[in-house]
Amino acid sequence: MTTIESISRKIGTLVIFGVPVIIGGGIVYYFAQSFPAMYVFEVVLLLAALGFVSKL
């Protein structure tokens, strides 16, 4: 895979991970009524996304 294809694939994967962050963050905030809980959820998803992208 060329460098351009690799970069665009990684960016696409990060965009796909953005949807659960937005939707899931709202759901976590709705049930927990707490911004720190929402931030923890988003950091966990960010770490998962970075781990997934680093393996591509």
Contact 17, 56 (CB under 8 A): no
Model pLDDT for residues 7-32, shown as the tens digit of each residue: 888 888 888 888 989 999 999 999 99
Choice between 21 and 1, residue whose per-residue pLDDT is larger: 21
Checking if the pLDDT of 4 tops 90, the result is: no
Residue type at 16 in one-letter notation: I
Contact 24, 45 (CB under 8 A): yes
33 φ/ψ angles, rounded to the nearest 5 degrees: 50, 45
Confirm whether pTM is higher than 0.85.
no
The domain spans of the chain are: 3-54
Model pLDDT for residues 25-51, shown as the tens digit of each residue: 999 999 999 999 999 999 999 999 888
Residues in the chain: 56
